[in-house]
Structure 1
Amino acid sequence: MVAWLSSARHPRLALVALAFIAFVGLGMPDGLLGVGWPSLRADFALPLDALGGLLAAGVAGYTTSSFFTGTLLARFGVGRMLALSCLLTGVALLGYTLVPLWWMVVALGVVAGLGAGAIDAGLNTYVAAHFGARLMQWLHASWGVGITSGPLLMTAGLALWQSWRVGYWTVGVFQLVLAVGFFLTLSLWEQPAPVPGGKKRLTDYQTPLGLALRQPAVWVSVALFVLYVGAETALGVWAYTLLTEARGVEPALAGVVTGSYWLMFTIGRVAAGVVAVRTGPDRLVRGGLIGALGGSALLLWNLAPIVNVLAIGLIGLAIAPIFPALMSGTAARVGDQFAAHTIGMQMAATGVGMALIPAGIGVLADRLSLELIPLGLLVVYAVLFGCYLLAMRLAASDQ
């Protein structure tokens, strides 16, 4: 198998396949936490908002490795960086199940974040530089496959073995297997895909980082990722708690519903990949945000249990193409010369959004009411839509 992947006949196919597998592995840990959190916090005797500590630890590692992706790629190359990142993530996830104290879990969260940030930013930069919008959508659909399986694995572990640890054991071992796979295929990542027409890749520009940091369009583009990833993660993390503790849904059904959020999310990204070239990133983003606002309003309405299920599925389907479309449209928003730096900053920003927005919503829900969760989503998506319109106006003014 390794010999086939390394052969000259299939270099592009092999690179795409390995990137997709890596994103499946990247998504799996993210899907575990929402379903596992009530059991995990019961084991460690934690308050509801203690989740913020683990999310903050993860974002510290994630943001650090994402921001220095360029340096890591130059030193290790893509293949080694992927292998080392999977190794770090696998060790951290297995460590969650072995340590006796909560502060140790939080410390391991930094390690998991370091691994996840490097693989996420590295592959996004690589795909943006070497492949098109369609493969970017399908790459992130692979992440959707991983994060869809996470709630189902955790639900199965809780139902069959009454333990949240089973889900983390399974995903930790998968990450270690991925690390071995990438170590065995290092040579593939030294064979870059050709660029049609001899155009520069985004990674070919030598624009100083300081110059990129002085561009308003760059910072607005970064803000888009803080808001989007924060909203996406918030529903994934808090849907199970909202359904079970505020709306009386049975735990097993709530786990399936949480999984359906990520399932619809994955289906949406596969479908978006089919139409991405014809539709274009801008229409995908605008349509997705309109759907997200409608789904959040429906979830806030809380008309009936089946409506809640439909609302969560609708949000997952609507937001599916937004992240990869925003990533593919980076150069159009900020210019080719600033795109590589902006992509790294955007990936670092996702870690900030992933920690701050779900944690902030959790604090408000703990202090006031769990019903603030859908209201918080509605507000964040509305602000995101406004920022996106501003980003496009800045892009138009620079042309």
Structure 2
Amino acid sequence: MAHSTPSLRRHSTLLVGLAYAAFISLGLPDGLTGVAWPSVRAEFGLSLDALGALVTSGTIGYLISSFSSGRVLTKIGVGWLLVLSCLATAVSLLGYGYAPTWIFMASLGILAGLGAGAIDAGLNTYAADNFNPRTLNWLHASFGLGAASGPVIMSSIISANQSWRVGYVVVGIAQLLLASAFAITRKQWQTQHSEAAVEPVASATMLQTLGLPATWLSILLFFLYTGLEFCAGQWLYTLLTTSRGMPPGIAGVWVSVYWGSLTVGRLLSGVIVGRISVLSLLRLSMLAAIIGVVLFWLNVAPWLTLIGIALLGLALAPMFPSFIALTPARMGPSHSANTIGFQIAAATLGGASITSSFGLLADGLGLEMLGTYLFVVALAMALIFEGLNRLKPAE
């Protein structure tokens, strides 16, 4: 390996703090739009499904930037990548705040996706090389904090009889400040990354990285993981209320418990990972995820269903950051950045396609198929993970 462990101990406290701030800011926009949408829809006179245009444009931008992030990193370095991507996100959010038409706002989704995908992939690549698994878990927990804060910010502004536009402008200004902080520290990010290398290693091309079996298994692993996480989060409420007759208020609380368990689980995982290996933690987590799915699938008793929901959230919590943490050792320094970019792109695709595919399945076979569907996804994920661990690490 061309990465030395002492570099993990020498990273700047300032850079770690900025990384936390960046992950919080990455989660903020996700929470804004859901709360702002009724007001946006009313102002522009839109149909309910018009939100799909904004989601689609954002997804396109996200896929483009995350998939190509490895090559961009080799050209401009992580410091400039963070500056430019954060600036793109800031411009898009400010553009939302001043958008004269819906078409203009929806088009800005591409810029927002480009910025978010680059920040996500760039920071995960840097963190995987320079931070330990504990810090990676806590960084991803801070994303959850941002996602939870977004609705609070927007609802507070709307409740104060202010326009939804103000919420986007406030967060856009915060993104500008973060971009400025990245610009000031851009050389430190580069220095930090270069200090971690004992010898220069040429970065592989995207095609070379895609030629490795481990790359495709890693892509499939992230596709399945994010699909499992998002599909459960999006369909649990509908299953509990429509199919099982649970009161909306109680169902809403338990879906919140699911999402909250993801954040709490990442905080706890940051502590646990110092006591057991990352590999052991992931194997235990996958077993717990399967048990959690089975508990609410069988629907033996309401309390067992609810335990299953909470257990699934806790079990999924360490997976994404820990998968990222294992990537440099598995793929080697020349393939690591490309692979992490591919993984982030696959996660986006998996979250969208597995979630939407269940909607088609439920139309034909009913909502109670959710347990079976998630069980198959969770089992496939565990098998792919074990297969990936049996491969020889890339050079």
- Could you say what secondary structure the match of 1:207 adopts? coil
Task: Render the CA deviation track for 1:315-345: whole Å, top value 9, x for unaligned.
Answer: 2211111111111112443445433322222
- Partners of 2:218 and 2:62 lie apart in 1 by 19
- Tell me the equivalent position of 2:182: 182
Tell me if the contact between 1:149 and 1:259 (Cα under 8 Å) persists in the aligned partners.
no
Query: Match for 1:221: what amino acid?
Result: S
1:12–1:162: structure 2 CA closer, same or farther, 3 Å change rule? closer
Structure 1 length normalisation: TM-score?
Answer: 0.79
Q: CA deviation at 1:169?
A: 6.2
1:287 aligns with 2:284: yes
Kindly tell me the number of residue pairs found equivalent between the two proteins.
384
1:59–1:367: structure 2 CA closer, same or farther, 3 Å change rule? farther
Task: List gaps (5 residues or longer) in structure 2.
Answer: 1-9
Task: Render the CA deviation track for 1:82-109: whole Å, top value 9, x for unaligned.
Answer: 2332333344346557768776665333
- Tell me the equivalent position of 2:48: 46
- Could you say what secondary structure the match of 1:391 adopts? helix
Q: CA deviation at 1:240?
A: 4.5
- Tell me the equivalent position of 2:5: none
- After TM superposition, the structure 1 stretch with the greater mean CA deviation from structure 2, 177-186 or 288-297, is 177-186
Structure 2 length normalisation: TM-score?
Answer: 0.80
Q: CA deviation at 1:279?
A: 1.6
1:127 aligns with 2:127: yes
Tell me if the contact between 1:93 and 1:168 (Cα under 8 Å) persists in the aligned partners.
yes
- After TM superposition, the structure 1 stretch with the greater mean CA deviation from structure 2, 231-240 or 252-261, is 252-261
Tell me if the contact between 1:152 and 1:259 (Cα under 8 Å) persists in the aligned partners.
no
Task: Render the CA deviation track for 1:166-209: whole Å, top value 9, x for unaligned.
Answer: 8766655543443344344434324316857x6458xx343343
Task: Render the CA deviation track for 1:189-235: whole Å, top value 9, x for unaligned.
Answer: 24316857x6458xx34334333222112211111011111222223
1:250–1:148: structure 2 CA closer, same or farther, 3 Å change rule? farther
1:314 aligns with 2:316: no
Q: How does 1:1-399 map to 2 (within 5 A)?
A: 12-31=12-31, 44-46=46-48, 54-93=54-93, 106-150=106-150, 171-192=171-192, 199-200=198-199, 204-243=201-240, 255-302=252-299, 307-365=304-362, 369-395=366-392
1:262–1:238: structure 2 CA closer, same or farther, 3 Å change rule? same
Task: List gaps (5 residues or longer) in structure 1.
Answer: 1-9
- Partners of 2:368 and 2:167 lie apart in 1 by 28
- After TM superposition, the structure 1 stretch with the greater mean CA deviation from structure 2, 176-185 or 278-287, is 176-185
- Partners of 1:217 and 1:20 lie apart in 2 by 29
- Tell me the equivalent position of 1:4: none
- Partners of 1:41 and 1:258 lie apart in 2 by 25
1:355–1:33: structure 2 CA closer, same or farther, 3 Å change rule? farther
Q: CA deviation at 1:287?
A: 1.3
Q: Percent identity?
A: 44
- After TM superposition, the structure 1 stretch with the greater mean CA deviation from structure 2, 271-280 or 32-41, is 32-41
1:103–1:315: structure 2 CA closer, same or farther, 3 Å change rule? farther
- Tell me the equivalent position of 2:7: none
1:217–1:136: structure 2 CA closer, same or farther, 3 Å change rule? same
- Tell me the equivalent position of 2:4: none
Tell me if the contact between 2:222 and 2:350 (Cα under 8 Å) persists in the aligned partners.
yes
